[in-house]
Chain A
Amino acid sequence: MTFPRRHLPGSGKRTPGRRVFGPVLGAVAGLFAVAAVYTSVLIVERQKALQQVARYNTTWLASQAVVELERLQQRIAAYALPGSGFDREEVQLRLDILANRVQLLRGGDVEELTAESPELQAVVSGLAAAVDAAQPMVDALAGAEAARELMDLFAPLGPGLARLAAAANVRGGDRVAEDQQHLSRLHWTFSGILMLLAACGMGLFGVLLWHNRLLRRVHGELLARTAELHVQNKRFDAALNNMSQALCMADADQRLIVCNRPYLELFGLPSGSAKPGTAMRDVQRAVAWIGRWPMELVEGIHGHQRELARKGGRASFSHALGDGRALAVSHQPMADGGWVATYEDVTERQRAQAKIAHMARHDALTGLANRTLLRERAEQALERLDRGEGSAFAVLCLDLDRFKEVNDTLGHPTGDTLLQAVAQRLGACLRETDLAARLGGDEFAILQAAGDQPASAAALAERLVDLIGAPYSIGGHRVVIGVSVGVALAPGDGADLSRLLRNADLALYRAKSGGRGTFRLFEPEMETHLLAQRALQADLRKALGGYQLEMFYQPQVDIATGRTNGFEALLRWEHPEQGFLSPAKFIPMAEETGLIVPIGEWALRQACLDAVRWPDHMTVAVNLSPLQFKAPDLVQTISEALAEAGLPPSRLELEITESVLLEDNATVLATLHQLRGLGLRISLDDFGTGYSSLGYLRKFPFDKIKIDQSFVREMVTRPDCEAIVNSIVGLASDLGMATIAEGVESAAQLSRLRRAGCMEAQGYHFSRPKPAAEVLADLGLVADRREAAPTA
């Protein structure tokens, strides 16, 4: 049986008794050894004692002397008797035997006995002397007399030898007693030792029981602790393997302590391949070899980690590749010189971040930069300029012409596709250093970084106009749009992006107003023009209340009869400083500012008031802006104007352009039908320009179609224009609609129109637009004094 010399740390503290167990056990073992040795000694001693007992019997030895003496005496006596048969030789033999006895009595045990008593010593020496004395007598033995002398010599020795025998006997008894005593002592000592050994055995048994109990308790504790450790290990494992990050822990010798399942999965290591104790270098080599992640990436990370492990540093870092794949690593040193690191595949996160960063700076639809990125780039470019590093650059503002119409006619999805196609073409025009941005709707801007300004910007703008103006094929539709470009140059045209954009916008505005599909460079004059425009807008607001607006009328003549059927009402603005302004100049402004609604309403009322004074068969044609159709009370306003003036509805004709129909069709058509319900007539203005979709003619039964003056003006010189006019007239006739041509300036035009079958005509050939008073005078009616006075 072995006893552990070392006890578990912790358990030993609680049971100090265990520390004395070793010495106690040692002492018991020592005691056993000593007892064994002593017992052995005792046994030897006992053996010796027994040997003492077994020694030659002294009593016998001594008592035989008496017998032998007696025999000698007997032989001597026999010798003395004649005829006994005993001879001298027999006496000699007995004397020799006695002499031998003397030798015995003088040596060994008997000598020990006699040494104590001079008396006994005297007995032995007396006997010896007698034997010595007897020898010559025996030699010369002859006759009874000599025998008697010999008898006398030995006679006194009998009692002495008897005493010697007795003494020997007593001494033998003493010796037996002594031996017995000795044996008894030995017995008791032996028994004592046996008892002691028994006690020691009992003690040992007790100690063993006690120790066994301790062992059982320690064993129990160990089992409990093992179970606890097992549970903790399980939890630890579960926690380790269920964390989202890959984890790897290494010791100070750069050997793997543990890595979790996500680690194996992240690097594609087969389960069970990374065993604790494996050199980290081997693990890393396996990771690189398996190739779940590119060699370049993992070697970069491992190199970084080896560097950190050598320095004992901590760091969180990530390595990424050009394709966006990225690993984030958090490396922490541990107190024992090892380290623990977590790894995470941050590819998706980085991609998402990159995407968000991209989205924050780009337009979702076209993928072009947005205003934010444009601003950043512009600011950077401006900073470079400030530092004197960069060169001049240009800001181009682009606005698509007729995009709104595409959106309205073909729908938003088509519009979006068109915008994408435009963006693509934009990109094709740019160099890498340039930046295209979509600012919203159909507005784009370009930041052109080029030193050779304005030539570069002008060249780019021209290219853009050409390229974007080329036809598109979208969803089976052939779409034609244009682009207008305004250019501002930094730093000359502005020290910040806002100013540059505003100035580029001004140039754009000028380009648009200059006929679209073109570009303009910003000029300071444009700014002053803008200011003038704004002043004019302010003036227009005042014009309505300041009686600066006036209605002019141009006759509409029946081509067949030459009679005037009615007049078209045309608005004139007499500016206090600039004189009469053309509607083309201020109507767009009025539409822009929303003033068109009150102005249009005034014009309608005034036209009704003027027309009611004309002959009963004459009609008045009033233009309606698309914006007026958006006003919810248009029908009411018109019926009120008619009622106010007392003009029969049949004498009012409303001229609308097809752009009205481009708007929300259902509402517009409902309004048109309501107006028709009032009894007035509706004509389609500017027919032939724009889309001139024949579908409109079907959607609403117009009373009259007005052929655009552009066809009329050239119908004499261009056969195609005449053909168009002929067609329109024929078409209208077939649909039961009347036709009127505007802008008729010559008799030749008129005759062609007549030939074409056009019903009415209007233009300078007949009369210029005239104020109401003049119209009345021409009609032979007396004008109001108030009206007539200024013209008189």
Chain B
Amino acid sequence: MTFLVTRRGIGRRFVRITAGGLGFAGAGRSAGAASLPQPAEKPILTVSGKISKANKDGAAQFDRPMIEALGTSGFETATPWYDGPVRFEGVRMDRLMQAVGASGDRVLAYALNDYSTELPMSDFARHGVILALKRNGQYMSVREKGPLFIVYPFDSDPALRHQRYYSRSAWQLARLVVI
């Protein structure tokens, strides 16, 4: 099992996970409450900041199965980016925060294209925000705003159909920092 970590730090670099197994992940999880299992596949999300559970240098790295292991949910909604309503599936953000033991009240989201935005922690439970993995049943690629996409259920509340929430909906998500 080899970890390739850039020297410049987690904040600016992708963490490359060359190998990983669920079995290990299960073992890691049992190792301690403050630690998360190590990702078996290539990590696609790193959560850092005020968290209590980590698996890599104080940060929590997730590969797709780890994320899906948290339990998925989904909804259909219209968005400014697609014609017609689209179904998103993924993990609820509040669930994710719970998984990492987040204690802050805001979350900074960073995308692969270096886009960043700030989300209040309260949004997650209140609006049922998800970190989508699938669109219309298909995993999203980077070319299709994947692999992770923070989506609000815009159709559930007209107030959500606002630039504020559109800007919070970060695609090609790579990192989350709880502050």
- Residues of A participating in the B interface, judged by any CB pair closer than 8 Å: 51, 53-57, 64, 67-68, 71, 85, 93, 96-97, 99-100, 103-104, 107-109
Contacts and interface: CB of A to CB of B under 8 A. Distances in A.
A100 B142 contact: yes
Contacts of B171: 100
A57 B169 CA distance: 13
Contacts of A51: 161-162
A85 B7 CA distance: 11
Given A56-B80, A68-B113, A71-B114, A96 B141 contact: yes
B80 A97 contact: no
Interface string B111-152: 011110000000000000000000000000111110000000
B163 A71 contact: no
Interface in B1-44: 6
A12 to B, nearest CB: 54
Given A56-B163, A93-B142, A100 B114 contact: no
B143 A96 contact: yes
B80 A55 contact: yes
Q: Is the interface of B mostly helix, strand, loop or mixed?
A: loop
A53 B83 CA distance: 19
A74 B56 CA distance: 29
Contacts of B112: 93, 97
Given A56-B81, A57-B163, A100-B171, 5 more contacts: A56-B80, A56-B163, A100-B143, A108-B80, A108-B81
Given A64-B115, A107-B83, A108-B81, A99 B143 contact: yes
A104 B81 contact: yes
Contact of B161 (A54, A64, A67, A99): A54
Given A55-B80, A64-B115, A100 B161 contact: no
21 contacts: A51-B162, A53-B163, A54-B161, A54-B164, A55-B163, A55-B166, A56-B163, A56-B166, A57-B163, A68-B113, A71-B113, A71-B114, A85-B6, A93-B112, A96-B142, A97-B113, A100-B145, A100-B171, A103-B144, A104-B81, A107-B83
Contacts of A53: 163
B55 interface: no
Nearest to A57: B163
A96 B113 CA distance: 10
A96 B172 CA distance: 10
Given A54-B163, A55-B163, A97 B81 contact: no
Q: Is the interface of A mostly helix, strand, loop or mixed?
A: helix
Residue in B142, B166, B172 whose Cβ sees the most chain A Cβ within 10 Å = B142
A134 to B, nearest CB: 12
Contacts of B166: 54-56
A71 B143 CA distance: 15
B163 A103 contact: no
Contacts of B164: 54
B150 to A, nearest CB: 15
B174 to A, nearest CB: 10
Contacts of A93: 112, 142
Contacts, number: 50
A54 B143 contact: no
Contacts of A68: 113
A53 B164 CA distance: 12
Contacts of B80: 55-56, 108-109
Contacts of A56: 80-81, 163, 166
B30 to A, nearest CB: 33
A154 to B, nearest CB: 16
Contacts of B161: 51, 54
Interface string B69-89: 000000000001111000000
A660 to B, nearest CB: 153
Contacts of B81: 56, 104, 107-108
Contacts of B113: 64, 67-68, 71, 97
Nearest to B171: A100
B172 A100 contact: yes
Residue in A93, A97, A103 whose Cβ sees the most chain B Cβ within 10 Å = A97
Nearest to A101: B113
A97 B163 contact: no
A85 B82 CA distance: 37
Nearest to A55: B80
A19 B114 CA distance: 76
A524 to B, nearest CB: 148
Nearest to B144: A100
Contacts of A64: 113, 115
Contacts of B115: 64
Contacts of A97: 112-113, 142, 172
Nearest to B82: A107
Nearest to A47: B158
A55 B166 CA distance: 8
A281 B113 CA distance: 109
Contacts of A85: 6
A103 B83 contact: no
A376 B131 CA distance: 142
A68 B172 CA distance: 13
Given A55-B163, A57-B163, A103 B143 contact: yes
Nearest to B164: A54
Contacts of A103: 143-144
A51 B165 CA distance: 12
Contacts of A55: 80, 163, 166
A212 to B, nearest CB: 46
Nearest to B7: A85
B83 to A, nearest CB: 7
A129 to B, nearest CB: 16
A335 B83 CA distance: 88
A85 B144 CA distance: 27
B2 to A, nearest CB: 16
Contacts of A108: 80-81
By Cβ-Cβ distance, the 9 closest A-B pairs, closest first, are A96-B142, A99-B143, A54-B163, A56-B80, A54-B162, A97-B113, A96-B143, A100-B143, A56-B166
Contacts of A107: 81-83
A54 B160 CA distance: 11
B34 to A, nearest CB: 32
Contacts of B142: 93, 96-97, 99-100
A184 to B, nearest CB: 21
Nearest to B81: A108
B151 to A, nearest CB: 14
Contacts of A99: 142-143
A273 to B, nearest CB: 78
A683 B151 CA distance: 178
Interface string B92-110: 0000000000000000000
A93 B161 CA distance: 30
A216 B6 CA distance: 93
Contacts of A54: 161-164, 166
